[in-house]
Structure 1
Amino acid sequence: MALKHIITALLLINFFIPAASRAQGTNPDSIDTFVSGMMQRKSIPALQMAVVRQGKIIKLKTYGTANLENNIPATDKSIFSINSITKAFTGVAVMQLAEEGKLKVTDPLSMYLDSLPAAWQKITLQQVLTHISGLPDVLDENEQVMGNGSEKLALQKVGAMPMEFNTGDKFSYNQTGYVLIGKIITKLSGMHFTKFIEERQFKVAGMPLTRFGDSYDVVPNSAGAYTMTKLVDGQFVRNKKPGISYIQFPLFFRTAAGILSTAGDMGNWVIALKTGKLLKNEASIKTMWTPAVLNNGNIGGFNSLTNGYALGWPTVTRPDHPAVGPVGGGRSAVFIYLKDDLSIVVLTNLNGGNPDRFIDEIAGYYIPDMHEANGFGLSPNLKKLRGILLKQNFKNAEAIAAGLKKKDASFTLPESELNGWGYQLLSQKKPNEALAVFTLNTALYPNSANAFDSYGEALEFAGEKDKAVVSYKKSLQLNADNKNAAERIKALSEKQ
């Protein structure tokens, strides 16, 4: 990780910058400070947030600029695309039909759809909703929906393709199944699936500003869409400032993506879901939020955070504060904490804003043990190590780790986990503690160029430039292609 990115994060994440945030209302609290800093760090133009507790929205806040071209501030009525969070609405729609006895999620697709390819016919609704079907994807290599807007042509093309893997073998994010689910909802409900979702969810939950749409539509109070990447000579290059992002979703694709909403409306939707207005039976919600189990007995998901996937709902499966967490377009997220009376909606207008990566930290302002600074998010082994290091002021880390390993042969400290924790400590302005962790990482992984590169950055940040150069040189010896180490050695040498 480049040092300049760490410094930027440290400077911006801890200070409130009113001109950049334009938070609606007065007297910013600590959450506003955190959110505004994160927006600065990630170059997010606008952000809406809703916090739900005890069946009410207890915080509704909007920050930043909805329209960069005309410098229009965002308000609580600004409308954001929620992209693939739409899939969670589709999951609710399927469970509503299940409660009416019109389908079972274990039913095969062929029970409701004719003329499916032979390899598709035994695949169940549950398997397509959880992305373990193995179906070929209706998105092409350029992430465009096949068929040029024609549902018939899209299904013909994808239907002629081979299965990607045996059903249930792995998790692989796939849009084809959602197109098929849309056809089933339309058939069983007697109305187009968009109308069914509007009638049974938008209207029931109290979501007056929510609608289906995309970049083509003229939407009053639209927050638009921006991106930090640009296609140059066939490769995506990151820019220093946001540019306009444009995307269209064909009507038949809108079970997968296509809903536009506000944080307030989404908060009302969460409340309606949790209070039985959308689904009557608790068992329905339990089914909808249970992640699929693969053929090998594991669950699969996007990453180590959203590590499972249920019926349209990514899951955050973990011992402490588990959640379901629909995410959309790398720009929006809704986390419902299953064991806590807390739900958080964060919508942004930046593809790549990735609020799912900092929504737990927002939760920490309501549940203090969820703050990264209190060790939340660390693996069980890192928590053990942290507990002892805190008592000894982060001294003798190598000996402590060895002692834990001696007591328990299964005790391991993966390089990537130590590295990530070290950077967390740097971001928390704890350079001495970070140095102890990075030093331990180089001791445990003496042949890792990355470990010495990160150690060099921590030393440089702490002002120990000579030692930093030594560490960078070690990293370069281990990996001659390490550009960051070479650049930092050159920069530090020129300063002397």
Structure 2
Amino acid sequence: MKFKIFASVFFIQFGLLVSFAKAQQMSTSDSLDTFLKSVMQKRHIPALQIAIVRGNKIIKNATFGTANLEYNIKANDKTIFSINSITKAFVGIAVMQLAEERKLKITDRLSLYLDSLPDSWKNITLQQVLTHTSGLPDVLDEEEQVMGHNDEQEAMKKVKSLPVEFKPGEKFSYNQTGYVLVGQIITKLSGMHFTRFIEEKQFKVAGMKLTRFGDSYDVIPNYAGAYTLTRQMGDGFVKNNTPGHAYMQFPVFFRTAAGIQSTATDMANWIIALKSGKLLKEQSSIDLLWTPAILANGKIGGFNRLTNGYALGWPTVTRDKHPAVGPVGGGRSALFVYLKDDLSIIVLTNLLQGNPDQFIDEVAGYYIPEMKEANGWIRKTSMQLKE
């Protein structure tokens, strides 16, 4: 009789704890939704999609706003967004997959795999091009357009005629040319085009059913499109408060640099597949994938004080507390994996100036209380970021 009473009390208490945990989770989710809607309004973001991973499970996925402004089409969980340069993170994994197959080493010189390189390019390594420390001239022109009118042979002929910008390893300088070359190497060593290699070895393995390569030219079902707040006027740009169309074309040979379209849920499943050993078998491969390059002066280099380092296709947020790797794309998409907190956050938008990397730490604060802006995290961060 006493056992039955004890068991009943135990299950009641356990049930109350479960109910409390669920209520707390719902409260966190509701508060986060309010925050995200506020950010969207302030930044004029038409549509936003978010997925959050913890314990290798998706604990939240939600979609807000309008995918298509012309026809007032509401965004949903199957709405597809361009992830732009987050594509480079897939390329980093592809290279490490070939490394695990013993088909290459990241310290190998480009000239080991590619012929007809300028003499000044021959000693540049795979690691240097993946980390943007190669010094290669950029295949994008002054107007941020791919050279050669989207023709690979013409583009490579033009960029090969340009001088290197600095001695390899001296500094960080974001560059697309190296990723075009890496695409050629993946195609050569894998025996299939690099887009197919990534589709087979990552999209399919991770169960990314809605993810594909494409750009503004392609007809993509449920595509959120691309919007911008800036328009060119003469030699300058004017910023507006109302989004207008943005057109982005990524020729096939350039799609190691940008070109993947995906959903936040698919991206979350990709992170789960990576962290659970489905994409890379060895933990040392992931460690290398996420280790920022050390420059000749002993420091690291990156985009800014937040994403202040760059690893193999993955920008890094190198800091003492809550370090992360944080691929960003087109000023519209961001993915942060918090390395010590078992937390990953994917935020996709259809506005080029949405810049979710600027508020993704605040999103993390809903799950890591110390990181809430109200607790002074933003001020702490500015002091903790390493140069």
Q: Same fold (TM over 0.5)?
A: yes
The one-character-per-residue Cα deviations of 1:394-421 (angstroms, maximum 9, x if unpaired) are xxxxxxxxxxxxxxxxxxxxxxxxxxxx
Q: 1:168 to 1:37 in 2, by over 3 A?
A: same
Q: Could you tell me how far apart the structure 2 residues matched to 1:277 and 1:77 are?
A: 24
For 2:224, the equivalent position in structure 1 comes to 223
2:138 counterpart residue number: 137
CA distance in structure 1 between the partners assigned to 2:234 and 2:148 by the alignment: 26
The structural deviation recorded for 1:233 is 1.7
Paired residue for 1:374?
375
- Is the 2:331–2:353 Cα contact (8 Å) retained in structure 1? yes
Q: Which amino acid aligns with 1:36?
A: K
Superposed CA deviations along residues 252-299 of structure 1, whole A, max 9, x for unmatched, are: 000000000000000000000000000000000000100000000000
Distance in 1 separating the partners of 2:261 and 2:188: 24
Please name the residue that 2:70 is paired with: 69
Aligned-partner residue type, residue 185 of structure 2: I
Cα 1:177/1:380, change in 2 over 3 Å: closer
Structure ranking higher on relative contact order (CA contacts 8 Å, 6+ apart) = 2
> Which of structures 1 and 2 has the bigger CA Rg?
1
- 1:227 is paired with a residue of what secondary structure? strand
Q: Cα RMSD over matched residues? A: 1.5
What pairs with 1:17-166 in structure 2 (closer than 5 Å)? 29-166=30-167
1:377 aligned counterpart, secondary structure: helix
CA shift digits 1:50-109 (9 cap, x unpaired): 000011101000000000000000000000000000000000000000000000000000
Structure 2 unmatched ranges of 5 or more: 1-25
How big is the shift at 1:26? 12
Seen in structure 2, the aligned counterparts of structure 1 residues 380 and 275 have a Cα distance that, compared at 3 Å, is: closer
1:344 aligns with 345
Residues 466-481 of structure 1 correspond to what in structure 2 (within 5 A)?
Answer: none
Amino acid at match of 1:169: E
User: Is the 8 Å Cα contact of residues 78 and 263 (structure 2) preserved in structure 1?
Assistant: yes
Tell me how far 1:378 sits from its aligned partner: 2.5
Looking at structure 2, the residues matched to 212 and 362 of structure 1 have their Cα atoms a distance apart, in angstroms, of 28
The 8 Å contact of residues 79 and 224 in structure 2, kept in 1 or not, is answered as: yes
1:280 paired residue number: 281
| Matched residue type, 2:195 | T
Decide whether the 8 Å contact of 2:325 with 2:337 is kept in 1.
yes
Give the 5 Å matches for 1:203-242: 203-242=204-243
Partner Cα separation in structure 1 for residue 228 and residue 382 of structure 2: 37
Deviation per residue, 1:450-491 (Å, 9 max, x gap):
xxxxxxxxxxxxxxxxxxxxxxxxxxxxxxxxxxxxxxxxxx
Which amino acid letter does the alignment assign opposite residue 262 of structure 1? T
Q: How far did residue 27 of structure 1 move?
A: 11
Q: For the residues of structure 2 that align with 1:262 and 1:382, how far apart are their CA atoms?
A: 34
Distance 2:323 2:82 in 1: 26
Q: Deviations over 1:399-447 (max 9, x none)?
A: xxxxxxxxxxxxxxxxxxxxxxxxxxxxxxxxxxxxxxxxxxxxxxxxx
When normalised by structure 1's length, the TM-score is 0.71
Measured after TM superposition, the shift of residue 135 of structure 1 is 0.3
Provide the residue aligned with 2:305 in structure 1: 304
Q: Aligned equivalents of 1:310 and 1:133: distance in 2?
A: 13
SS of equivalent to 1:252: helix
Q: Distance in 1 between matches of 2:371 and 2:95?
A: 33
State how far apart, in whole Å, the 1-side matches of 2:177 and 2:163 are.
13
Aligned in 2, Cα 1:215/1:137: closer, same or farther, shift over 3 Å?
A: same
CA contact (8 A) 2:172 2:301 kept: yes
SS in 1 for 2:347: strand
Q: Which letter maps to 2:342? A: D
Change (3 A) 1:27 1:335: closer
Deviation of 1:149 (Å): 1.2
Is the 2:113–2:185 Cα contact (8 Å) retained in structure 1?
yes
Equivalent residue number for residue 356 of structure 2: 355
Separation in 1 of the partners of 2:71 and 2:163?
48
Task: Measure how far apart 1:372 and its partner are.
Answer: 1.5
SS of equivalent to 2:277: coil
CA distance in 1, matches of 2:222, 2:277: 31
Structure 1's consecutive aligned runs of 4 or more residues displaced over 2 angstroms after TM superposition are 25-28, 377-383
The code of the aligned residue for 2:235 comes to G
* Separation (CA, whole Å) in 1 of partners of 2:143 and 2:381: 40
Report the 3-state secondary structure (helix = DSSP H, G, I; strand = E; otherwise coil) of the residue aligned with 1:350.
Answer: coil
Contact 2:28/2:366 (8 A) holds in 1: no
SS in 2 for 1:138: coil
Q: Distance in 1 between matches of 2:288 and 2:28?
A: 42
Aligned residue for 2:379, secondary structure, equals coil
Cα deviation, residue 337, structure 1 = 0.4
Letter in structure 1 aligned against 2:299: N
Which residue does 1:170 correspond to in 2? Answer: 171
Q: Which amino acid aligns with 1:188?
A: L
More helix by share: 1
Equivalent pairs, count? 359
Identity over aligned pairs, percent: 71
Counterparts of 1:395-406 in structure 2 under 5 Å?
none
SS at match of 2:63: strand
Q: How far apart in 2 are the matches of 1:46 and 1:309?
A: 28
Q: Distance in 1 between matches of 2:342 and 2:29?
A: 24
Rounded Cα–Cα distance in structure 2 between residues aligned with 1:143 and 1:102 = 33
* Distance (whole Å) between structure 2 residues aligned to residue 110 and residue 382 of structure 1: 42
Kindly provide the amino acid, as one letter, of the partner of residue 142 in structure 1: E
- How far is 1:377 from its partner? 3.3
How far apart, CA to CA, are the structure 2 residues paired with 1:140 and 1:27? 45
Secondary structure of 2:67's counterpart equals strand
* Cα-to-partner distance string for 1:317-352 (whole Å, 9 max, x where unaligned): 000000000000000000000001100000000001
Unaligned runs of 5+ in 1: 1-24, 384-496
